Amino acid sequence: MQRPAVKHCRECGTAVVYRIPDDGDTKERGVCPACNTIHYENPLNVVGTVPVWGDKVLLCKRNIEPRWGKWTLPAGFMELNETAAEGAARETVEEAGAQFEMQELFSLLSVARVGQVHLFFRAQLTSDQFDPGFETIEARLFAEDEIPWDEIAFKTTQETLRHYFADRKRGHFSMHTLDIV
């Protein structure tokens, strides 16, 4: 079990205790012993794109931890008050400074051990000029045979790229769902 993230009640500030609530729930939750507020902890959404220019895919070299200096698709945590597609577009602009047209959802990957769900949308680049933000050392286009597979930051990026290239060879793109263990 992951270490609990909630230590104090967001309503009154009292230290929470972890137990099964008295409301019929079946999971251990952070419960405030003073005001009885139940604190639910839910997975975080990571949203991004698979940006394509011709036969090449755009990857970003990370300028932040974790995995500084490794390559990834442009992606990051979804913010409140934005859709998954809006978040993916924002992250692509922030990390790569790319111009593109959003396409359909391509992959949904559950990473239960870290409490995350990753969603990648296909994106058609409208320019091969990039202006990466501070989180990115370099934004660069790669053909399939140029992908630095040993330098890819995350398993979710590797799996999404593998499915993208396989679908492209078939001439048909499908939606992919995977559990990363």
Q: What CATH number is attached to the domain comprising 30?
A: 2.20.70.10
- The set of residues, in sequence order, having a beta carbon less than 8 Å from that of 6 and lying 6+ positions away, is 16, 30, 39, 41
Q: Tokens 């490794």 identify what position?
A: 70
**Half-sphere exposure at residue 73, Cβ-oriented, CA atoms within 13 angstroms:** 31
Q: Regarding predicted confidence, which is higher, 2 or 145?
A: 145
Of the pLDDT bands very low, low, confident and very high (cuts 50, 70, 90), residue 23 is confident
Co-location of 87 and 127 in the same domain: yes
Cross-strand bridge partners of residue 143 = 56
Instruction: Provide the domain count of the chain.
Output: 2
Co-location of 36 and 115 in the same domain: no
Co-location of 78 and 13 in the same domain: no
Angle ∠(163,166,171) on CA atoms, nearest 5: 120
Mean pLDDT of 98-120: 97
Predicted TM-score (pTM) of this structure: 0.91
Domain limits for position 148: 44-179
Co-location of 79 and 92 in the same domain: yes
Residue 75 CB-density burial (10 A; 0-12 exposed, 13-18 middle, 19+ buried): buried
- The set of residues, in sequence order, having a beta carbon less than 8 Å from that of 172 and lying 6+ positions away, is none
Co-location of 89 and 35 in the same domain: no
Q: Measure Cα distances from 131 to 13, 61, 88 in Å.
A: 43, 13, 17
Co-location of 71 and 29 in the same domain: no
CA distance 103 to 107: 12
Phi-psi region of 34 (alpha: psi -120 to 50; beta: other; left: phi over 0): alpha
Whether residue 63 has pLDDT greater than 90: yes
Closest listed residue to residue 108, CA positions, set 47, 166, 170: 47
Interval 28-39: pLDDT, tens: 999 999 999 999
Distance, CA of 49 to chain centre? 9
CA distance 20 to 17: 10
Interval 1-14: pLDDT, tens: 455 689 999 999 99
Where residue 147 sits, what CATH number does that domain have? Answer: 3.90.79.10
